[in-house]
Amino acid sequence: MHIEEIVLDGFKSYATRTVIGGWDRQFNAITGLNGSGKSNILDAICFVLGISTLSHVRATNLTDLVYKRGQAGITKATVSIVFNNADKKNCPLGYVDDDKITVARQLIVGGKNTYLINGVKKTQADVASLFHSVQLNINNPHFIIMQGKITKVLNMKPAEVLAMVEEAAGTRMFEDRREKAVKVIGKKDTKMDEIQSLLQTEIQPKLSSLRDKKRDFMEYQKLENEISQIGNFLTAHEFWICEKKIKEFDTAYDEMKSNLATQEAEEQSFKHEMIHIENMIQSLAANKHTTDGEFHRLEAEAKELNKDIAKLKSQIDIKSTTLIEENANLTALKQSRQENTATLATLSEAALNEKSAFDAKKGEHEARVKGLEKKKDLLQTLTTGVSAVQGHENGYLDQLHEAQTSLSNCDSVAQQARLKIKHFQQELSSKEPKAKKAHELNKSLVDSLAAKRVRADALKAKVDKIVVPVLDEAYEQRDVQLEKAAKLKKTVQRIEKDISAYLFSYSNPSRSFDPSDVKGLIAELIRIPEKNLESVTALETCAGGRLFNVIVSNEVVGSHLVDKSKTKLSKRVTFIPLNKIVANQIDTSRIRSAKEIAPGKVELAIDLVDFEQDLVNAMKYVFGSTLICKDTASAKSVTFDKNVRLRSVTLDGDVYEPSGSLSGGSRGNSANILTQFQNYTQMRGQLNEEEKVLEKILDGIKAGEAVRDERDQAHAQYDLALHECGLLEQQIASNGNSQVIFQLEKLKADICEESKRIEESEKSAAELKKLCKTLENDMKRFSTNREETLSSLKKEIQAEKGKLASEAKLIQADELAVRTVLQEKIDLEQELKEMDSTEATLKDLISSLKVEIEELSMKHEEALVRILSRKLL
């Protein structure tokens, strides 16, 4: 390994990046003029090799190695050396594959040193190890022999010369490592002694104490187990004693029951004997009337038939009465409905009239309230000289001046309007002939504009008719529903992961394959009601491996799924074709016998699960021949009974076969797989429901957006129609003929407007004249008798206040009456709807009554025929 290239940047005198290349393999000297930087190159090499004695590179600290100590704007020094590593025999450890090794060192002023090997950041120890592996140690005492030390080297003693030779040969490095290792071993020995001391003084005594405690605890557990075992024995003994007593009590009870039954039988026998004796007495008494006996029997039958006839006649009368009443009710309902319809029309008209009258009365009341406020303001002005309204004077003189000014303005407006009308009429008479001719010439454009306006009005009505639903709430519901569905989907996926080993999946064998023909696993298709959840273990044991069989519609579907060339199944699966499966039919008498043996403790397994009706044959095949028992005693009783002889399973999963075999005991970890499938089915059902709700919301949003798009489209068509109308209007307006017509129409409109203005001005002028006269009279009265006028004004205000207060109450009452009428209208509309429903119900009831009366009439006729036959006999 030798140097090929040195790159210096910011190091000592090399301010800029300087590359020194072309190094010979045998180079051993650096020559050049004084001040050319020969020593700095050697210092750079030592810097990269990691020298720690800075005096060897003629520096007191690391900052001296940066160009001008960082004062010239250069704040870091970088030196990179590229080594040729072609000689693989003498290459550093770990760098056999690298033909070149680049070692760089970077120094930042006030910062830290950074070492890089082949561009990878390393520590100083890593760099030192690299050079140590090729017997190169920059920190050897004689690695650099300065110029002033040559004489000292020449005068070295043999031991010193030997040390220098060892350094040059690289063997000294191993001695240094050995010394370091000895020091480390000494430290480790000291640490080991401390650990041994700690073990002997603290840990070992503690362990001994813990061992003693463990021994005591084990003894305690042993004693506790013995106590528990003895307690179990005692409990078992007590149970055996109690069971023995129960059996004794049962025996005694059976004996008492047998005795009671015997006594009851004797009692019944005595009763029958007494009845027999009484019958004999009656028969002996009847022998006296042997000739009349048949007559009495027929008479009794006739009486019974008469009773039946009377009963049927009574029922017919009741039904007929009910029919008449219901017909009367229907007629009354129809009449009432007609009356209510007429009342509704009258009430609607009355409500409209009352509301109009109320609005008028309320407007008049508000006007009088404003008049009262003016009077109050006038009173304050006359009393204090200051108006209640800031910036507004309201005395008699001001009011009179204001009224006279308004009157003058009205006269002026009316006079101006008359002059305008006169001018407009003169202009109208001159333009009417021209307008008539222009109208004939411009008829086609006007008709086209009218048609466009009609179309625009129709589009406007269409736009107004389309009600765009507010979708903000729907969007919020969609987001909430999406979140719910995502949570449920996550739960379903988690459960699927737990039961993935049992799930059934397949790929469609062909494009025409109908997935609905594959119903699914038995475990997925059954639902266990909450009341039967205690039987989950028993049902799982009952089904066994059939729990994971797959139900298909027919054997063809199963053959397609089994065919490896068409589909790939992840595991072996047993299919149950619904059209081929035949379940063993269990005699109902055997099930009835089992329930009689253990009442309330025995159920047929298939009765404990719910499923779709089309799967009944498959479910009978799986569950139809097994009984579920609540305890072992019930299971033993029903299984081995000669009238039952059916397989039974206890709630704990113990199986009793009629052949005498028994299986059960410990349950595996998969004992809850059916429960997991139930949860999976339930959660998947909830997910489907939530997805349906989400789909419904999305459909609503889609429909709303469609309506919105339809409205936007209609609005765009309306805007286009308006634009077309505007273009036609511009075309007509730019036409000379149209301008004449428009001018004529405008003159007529102006004449009408000015006439209205004259009428309004004259009306206002009359009111103002009346007001001026009233104000003048008030001023005269006020000037002659101020106090009396103020008093009169106060009285008027008080009287007006009272009237307005009374009127306010009346208005409130009228408002309440209007609301009442409107509510009555709403109630009457609701009542009419209820009458329609009642009418339909009464019609159905009348039809059913007619049918019942016909049936009773037929029975009545049959009874009459029978009694006539008895009379003939």
Which residue is it, tokens 């001023």?
Answer: 779
pLDDT of 191: 92
Query: Looking at per-residue confidence, does 358 or 696 come out higher?
Result: 696
pLDDT of 369: 72
Residue 698 has pLDDT above 50, yes or no: yes
Residue 604 has pLDDT above 80, yes or no: yes
Tokens describing residue 708: 């919105």
In this prediction, residue 428 has a pLDDT band, given cuts at 50, 70 and 90, of: confident
User: Residue 383: CB partners within 8 Å, gap ≥ 6?
Assistant: 790
Last residue of a domain, one of 700, 721, 737: 700
Q: Is 195 helix (H, G, I), strand (E, B) or coil?
A: helix
Query: Looking at per-residue confidence, does 19 or 409 come out higher?
Result: 19
Residue 183 within any structural domain of the chain:
yes
Query: Looking at per-residue confidence, does 631 or 299 come out higher?
Result: 631
* CA–CA separation, 165 and 665 (whole Å): 86
Binning the chain into helix, strand and coil, the percentages to the nearest 5 are 75, 10, 20
- Predicted confidence (pLDDT) per residue in 624-655, tens digit: 888 999 888 888 888 888 888 888 999 888 88
Within this chain, do residues 278 and 320 fall inside the same structural domain, yes or no?
no
**Secondary structure element (H or E) that encloses residue 712, with its range:** helix 673-734
- Predicted confidence (pLDDT) per residue in 778-815, tens digit: 666 665 666 666 666 677 777 777 776 777 777 777 77
In this prediction, residue 726 has a pLDDT band, given cuts at 50, 70 and 90, of: confident
User: Residue 198: CB partners within 8 Å, gap ≥ 6?
Assistant: none
- DSSP lists the bridge partners of residue 655 as 649, 663
Residue 185 has pLDDT above 90, yes or no: yes
In this prediction, residue 422 has a pLDDT band, given cuts at 50, 70 and 90, of: confident
Within this chain, do residues 282 and 313 fall inside the same structural domain, yes or no?
no
* CA–CA separation, 311 and 318 (whole Å): 10
- Predicted confidence (pLDDT) per residue in 340-362, tens digit: 677 767 767 776 777 677 677 66
pLDDT of 735: 65
Within 10 A of 624 (CB to CB), how many other CB atoms are there? 18
User: Residue 790: CB partners within 8 Å, gap ≥ 6?
Assistant: 379, 382, 383, 782
Residue 771 has pLDDT above 50, yes or no: yes
Residue 416 within any structural domain of the chain:
no
In this prediction, residue 5 has a pLDDT band, given cuts at 50, 70 and 90, of: very high
* CA–CA separation, 56 and 528 (whole Å): 92
Residue 270 has pLDDT above 60, yes or no: yes
Residue 743 within any structural domain of the chain:
no
Mean pLDDT, residues 618-626:
86
Within this chain, do residues 591 and 492 fall inside the same structural domain, yes or no?
yes
Within this chain, do residues 22 and 78 fall inside the same structural domain, yes or no?
yes
Query: Looking at per-residue confidence, does 6 or 761 come out higher?
Result: 6
Domain count, the chain: 4
* CA–CA separation, 203 and 615 (whole Å): 71
CB of 371 closer than 8 Å to CB of 797: no
Last residue of a domain, one of 138, 165, 190: 138
CATH number of the domain bearing residue 498: 3.30.70.1620
Residue 390 has pLDDT above 60, yes or no: no
Residue 21 has pLDDT above 80, yes or no: yes
For the chain, percent of residues with pLDDT exceeding 90: 5
Query: Looking at per-residue confidence, does 310 or 607 come out higher?
Result: 607
* 674, burial (CB in 10 Å: exposed 0-12, middle 13-18, buried 19+): buried
CATH number of the domain bearing residue 374: 1.10.287
Which residue is it, tokens 């590359």?
Answer: 19
CATH number of the domain bearing residue 112: 3.40.50.300
Query: Which domain covers residue 20, as residue numbers?
Result: 2-138
Residue 164 within any structural domain of the chain:
no
pLDDT of 227: 92
Residue 466 within any structural domain of the chain:
no
Within 10 A of 410 (CB to CB), how many other CB atoms are there? 22
- Predicted confidence (pLDDT) per residue in 142-180, tens digit: 666 666 667 777 777 887 777 777 766 666 677 777 888
**Nearest of 90, 305, 426 to residue 860 by alpha carbon:** 305
* 754, burial (CB in 10 Å: exposed 0-12, middle 13-18, buried 19+): buried
* 602, burial (CB in 10 Å: exposed 0-12, middle 13-18, buried 19+): buried
Query: Looking at per-residue confidence, does 846 or 91 come out higher?
Result: 91
Distances 400 to 274, 397, 511, 778 between C-alpha atoms, Å: 126, 5, 100, 10
* CA–CA separation, 399 and 401 (whole Å): 5
**Secondary structure element (H or E) that encloses residue 558, with its range:** helix 555-562
* CA–CA separation, 86 and 99 (whole Å): 5
In this prediction, residue 51 has a pLDDT band, given cuts at 50, 70 and 90, of: confident
CB of 737 closer than 8 Å to CB of 478: no
Query: Looking at per-residue confidence, does 735 or 509 come out higher?
Result: 509
Within this chain, do residues 276 and 324 fall inside the same structural domain, yes or no?
no
User: Residue 686: CB partners within 8 Å, gap ≥ 6?
Assistant: 488
Residue 387 has pLDDT above 60, yes or no: no
Ranking 201-215, 515-529, 562-576 by mean pLDDT, the lowest is: 562-576
Residue 285 has pLDDT above 70, yes or no: no
Residue 279 within any structural domain of the chain:
yes
**Nearest of 311, 325, 680, 621 to residue 492 by alpha carbon:** 680
* CA–CA separation, 548 and 446 (whole Å): 83
HSE (side-chain half, CA atoms, 13 Å) at 652: 12
Within this chain, do residues 521 and 643 fall inside the same structural domain, yes or no?
yes
Which residue is it, tokens 């029978």?
Answer: 866
Within this chain, do residues 262 and 197 fall inside the same structural domain, yes or no?
yes
Residue 384 has pLDDT above 70, yes or no: no
* CA–CA separation, 772 and 405 (whole Å): 10
* CA–CA separation, 361 and 366 (whole Å): 9
* CA–CA separation, 396 and 779 (whole Å): 6
Residue 654 within any structural domain of the chain:
yes
**Nearest of 121, 191, 707 to residue 469 by alpha carbon:** 707
Within this chain, do residues 520 and 575 fall inside the same structural domain, yes or no?
yes
Residue 873 has pLDDT above 70, yes or no: no
In this prediction, residue 715 has a pLDDT band, given cuts at 50, 70 and 90, of: confident
Residue 573 has pLDDT above 90, yes or no: no
Residue 182 has pLDDT above 70, yes or no: yes
CB of 535 closer than 8 Å to CB of 608: yes
Q: What single letter denotes the amino acid at residue 343? A: T
* CA–CA separation, 329 and 846 (whole Å): 10
**Nearest of 10, 1, 94 to residue 49 by alpha carbon:** 1
Which residue is it, tokens 């303001």?
Answer: 377
Within this chain, do residues 614 and 500 fall inside the same structural domain, yes or no?
yes
Q: What is the DSSP string of 388-440?
A: SSTT---SHHHHHHHHHHHHHHHHHHHHHHHHHHHHHHHHHHHHHHHHHHHHH
Distances 529 to 404, 595, 835 between C-alpha atoms, Å: 95, 21, 43
User: How many contiguous H segments (helices) and E segments (strands) does the chain have?
Assistant: 19, 14
Phi, psi of 641 (to 5 degrees): -75, 140
Within this chain, do residues 281 and 326 fall inside the same structural domain, yes or no?
no
CB of 651 closer than 8 Å to CB of 532: no
**Secondary structure element (H or E) that encloses residue 750, with its range:** helix 736-784
Distances 159 to 144, 173, 400, 779 between C-alpha atoms, Å: 19, 17, 139, 145
- Predicted confidence (pLDDT) per residue in 679-692, tens digit: 888 888 888 888 88
Residue 681 within any structural domain of the chain:
yes
pLDDT of 147: 65
In this prediction, residue 436 has a pLDDT band, given cuts at 50, 70 and 90, of: confident
Within this chain, do residues 265 and 350 fall inside the same structural domain, yes or no?
no
pLDDT of 781: 64
Mean pLDDT, residues 458-477:
77
Q: Is 646 helix (H, G, I), strand (E, B) or coil?
A: coil
* 346, burial (CB in 10 Å: exposed 0-12, middle 13-18, buried 19+): exposed
**Nearest of 478, 575, 582 to residue 520 by alpha carbon:** 575
For the chain, percent of residues with pLDDT exceeding 70: 77
Ranking 46-60, 382-396, 451-465, 743-757 by mean pLDDT, the lowest is: 382-396
Within this chain, do residues 231 and 321 fall inside the same structural domain, yes or no?
no
Distances 10 to 60, 68, 70, 74, 482 between C-alpha atoms, Å: 18, 9, 9, 6, 64
CB of 680 closer than 8 Å to CB of 525: no
For the entire predicted model, the pTM comes to 0.35
- Predicted confidence (pLDDT) per residue in 488-534, tens digit: 888 888 887 877 777 888 888 888 888 888 888 888 888 888 888 88
Last residue of a domain, one of 700, 733, 768: 700
* CA–CA separation, 772 and 774 (whole Å): 5
